[in-house]
Chain A
């Protein structure tokens, strides 16, 4: 975990004081609504359909138990006793009072947290692989780099009024679990033959109204130049990104309009002036950051314990289900990462109560060195659990209803807040998620379907990542009525692709039935162990379309 030093703490404290004063001036009528808007959103404060909403940053998804406890307290004291984990690994509180927000921010600062730049046309919270630092397939631990980016981007004076928001995702593993191809900038850290860190830089990805896959602007940037290069990209975007139409303002539109080669030329021209400047990283800077992310004091887990774990897995079907779906291999033998599912029937995906937050914090202390991760699939991860303690942890998670053994299956769907909370929604999304979870609640069926991403957004802003769901559901509005459009074939990860629309949209009641028909086609057509997405890629959209609209 990154721990604040005196500089970090002073900065967040000064930020709280600044916002307190801004809120005072707003409440005194000295700042207009329109002019207060960017100020409040730069501090994570939205005004939503029914109430304000506060979006709290969980930088690159890393969370300490004491921080989670504080989040639980805040939700209990200033909200309705629950919070919502988002696909950008932030936590949203849906019902705070406007005038309480400065005090909430002060409390967050007391546990080294903030809500800075969680919204607004600025550089947002950087996201990464939820298994950073523990993944078996990792080449470079992205966390120190993420923290360097966090610091560089926090209060960056030049980039506070960009044409539109700007999101950076980082991965250092063979498998991309951070969706770097659908971010404004995606960074893939890798090592060259000499063992030096290099950065592959993608630019111009994004979802929303005009989804696009990012393109490579630089294949092998030496690590020293990471910040100056980012600054060059941002400056080109700040200068040339469209400001006349907010739907065409993201860097993806600029990249498309210029073409990647011209974009690269402009960035390199800009970079030539910044390269080797004061912001060039040195080894000490990396080492200082890396010192915050040292391995926890893991013990040696002996072979007998590992064998006992495997034996239990063979003998106990329920345990085996949990392990297969919710437990992930670790770079250290004898340790595993355990995913806590925030998805179950009748529950809003990603929601956690204050009480659960406190309980989960206790489990993190007891089983995982007090550390947690938030995933962009809206689950939580205990990153360092010894295999001889997984059974015990599993029982406790069952009691808390956090052990639903469905991570990665259809039931583990991603869903935005939609019309129940969000002022921009065309349609509700949570009831659709719940109806699908209820309809497909047989574990055997879910397992038979295998890995399946179903993502739901309540409007084309795509907060629920519907474009990159194997099955995507999008709420649309037709003459004031809520309809749902289904798309197939999207995917995230190394082979990111955008889904194709199946056809005319459906009433909400019909969505589970339509999903069922889609699944029937897959089950009928699949060969051997073929996954849904592979079958789709082989047979295409047509058979699905024919069956659904038959």
Chain B
């Protein structure tokens, strides 16, 4: 279960920002019929509730993105993906599939055991918001996002694999020498 206390820093678009949302990790009596505004609730609770702009889902890491779920998620104000443990890597695939296959343009937020040293991979997979665990140092987190200046493989942040980039650069060099 992702835990959220008010002191969790939120990084969005590479800046520390105010978090307008509250994450409801447990599905308690309220959970069955959530009323609080600006709440992120578990996917099944969200699916059962009415669509509202101030109610968002969080996806457990074992979520299967079947057709109905994806259709519903199109209307989500944001999608949070839970990392129950930072070593659970399923969320990376979920984010990529939401972005690349289903074209989700809204915020995808990492929640749960979100640590500095995973952020750069998460960002590459399409996460653009990170609800950091309370003990993480924000400056180090921001710095971690800019460690790598280029990438070998295609991902959400990089449509051009390195082998094509090299081909393009070789053509550009050729053109330059032709002009010179």
Interface-lining segment among B14-22, B33-41, B149-157: B149-157
**Given A10-B149, A161-B92, A239-B90: A288 and B166 within 8 A (CB)?**
yes
Contact bitstring B154-166, A, C-beta under 8 A = 1, else 0: 1100011111111
| B86, B154, B162, B164: the one within 8 Å of A35 (CB) | B86
Q: Is the CB of B159 within 8 A of A278?
A: yes
Task: Tell me how far the C-beta of A291 lies from the nearest C-beta in chain B, rounded to whole angstroms.
Answer: 11
Task: Tell me how far the C-beta of A24 lies from the nearest C-beta in chain B, rounded to whole angstroms.
Answer: 10
Task: Tell me how far the C-beta of A101 lies from the nearest C-beta in chain B, rounded to whole angstroms.
Answer: 16
Closest chain A residue to B156 by CB distance?
A: A157
Q: Is the CB of A11 within 8 A of B93?
A: no
Q: Is the CB of A7 within 8 A of B147?
A: no
Interface-lining segment among A14-22, A130-138, A331-339, A479-487: A14-22
Contacts of A221 in B (CB 8 A): none
| A153, A154, A277: the one within 8 Å of B154 (CB) | A277
* A152 interface residue per 8 A CB criterion: yes
Q: Is the CB of B89 within 8 A of A159?
A: yes
Contacts of B101 in A (CB 8 A): 273
Contact bitstring A15-37, B, C-beta under 8 A = 1, else 0: 10110011001000011000100
* A493 interface residue per 8 A CB criterion: no
Q: Is the CB of B93 within 8 A of A238?
A: yes
A239 and B122 CA atoms in complex are apart in Å by 16
A160 and B155 CA atoms in complex are apart in Å by 13
* B137 interface residue per 8 A CB criterion: yes
Which of A157, A279, A285 has the most chain B CB atoms closer than 10 A to its own CB?
A: A157
Contact bitstring A275-290, B, C-beta under 8 A = 1, else 0: 0011101101100110
Which of B147, B149, B165 has the most chain A CB atoms closer than 10 A to its own CB?
A: B147
A360 and B130 CA atoms in complex are apart in Å by 50
Give the residues from 128 to 180 in chain B that come closer than 8 angstroms, CB to CB, to chain A: 137, 140, 143-144, 147-155, 159-167
Contacts of A39 in B (CB 8 A): 117
**Given A161-B87, A278-B161, A279-B161: A14 and B167 within 8 A (CB)?**
no
A5 and B150 CA atoms in complex are apart in Å by 13
Closest chain B residue to A30 by CB distance?
A: B137
* A219 interface residue per 8 A CB criterion: no
Closest chain A residue to B166 by CB distance?
A: A288
A227 and B93 CA atoms in complex are apart in Å by 16
**Given A121-B87, A157-B121, A238-B93: A151 and B162 within 8 A (CB)?**
yes
Q: Is the CB of A285 within 8 A of B147?
A: no
Task: Tell me how far the C-beta of B90 lies from the nearest C-beta in chain A, rounded to whole angstroms.
Answer: 6
A332 and B115 CA atoms in complex are apart in Å by 54
Contacts of B75 in A (CB 8 A): none
How many B residues have CB within 8 A of the partner chain? 39
Task: Tell me how far the C-beta of A480 lies from the nearest C-beta in chain B, rounded to whole angstroms.
Answer: 31
How many A residues have CB within 8 A of the partner chain? 46
Contact bitstring B76-108, A, C-beta under 8 A = 1, else 0: 000000000011111011001000010000000
Contacts of A35 in B (CB 8 A): 86, 115, 117
Which of B118, B140, B162 has the most chain A CB atoms closer than 10 A to its own CB?
A: B162
A284 and B86 CA atoms in complex are apart in Å by 39
* B120 interface residue per 8 A CB criterion: yes
Contacts of B167 in A (CB 8 A): 282, 284-285, 288
Q: Is the CB of B96 within 8 A of A158?
A: yes
Task: Tell me how far the C-beta of B93 lies from the nearest C-beta in chain A, rounded to whole angstroms.
Answer: 5
Contacts of A151 in B (CB 8 A): 152-153, 162-163
Contacts of A22 in B (CB 8 A): 117
Task: Tell me how far the C-beta of A401 lies from the nearest C-beta in chain B, rounded to whole angstroms.
Answer: 41
Contacts of A25 in B (CB 8 A): 140
Contacts of B159 in A (CB 8 A): 278
A243 and B86 CA atoms in complex are apart in Å by 12
* B125 interface residue per 8 A CB criterion: yes
* B124 interface residue per 8 A CB criterion: yes
- 19 further A-B pairs in the complex, CB-CB below 8 A; given A11-B152, A35-B117, A289-B163: A15-B148, A17-B147, A25-B140, A31-B117, A121-B87, A121-B89, A151-B162, A152-B161, A155-B152, A156-B153, A157-B125, A157-B155, A158-B125, A160-B92, A227-B161, A239-B93, A243-B88, A285-B163, A288-B166
List 6 A-B pairs, minimum CB-CB distance, nearest first: A161-B89, A157-B124, A285-B163, A157-B121, A151-B152, A158-B92
Q: List 27 A-B pairs, Cβ < 8 Å.
A: A7-B162, A7-B166, A11-B152, A35-B115, A38-B86, A121-B89, A151-B152, A151-B163, A156-B152, A157-B92, A157-B121, A157-B153, A157-B155, A158-B125, A160-B92, A161-B86, A162-B89, A238-B89, A238-B92, A279-B161, A281-B163, A282-B163, A285-B163, A285-B164, A288-B163, A288-B166, A289-B163
Name B's A-contacting residues (CB within 8 A).
86-90, 92-93, 96, 101, 115, 117-118, 120-122, 124-125, 137, 140, 143-144, 147-155, 159-167
Name A's B-contacting residues (CB within 8 A).
5, 7, 10-11, 14-15, 17-18, 21-22, 25, 30-31, 35, 38-39, 121, 148, 151-163, 227, 235, 238-239, 243, 273, 277-279, 281-282, 284-285, 288-289
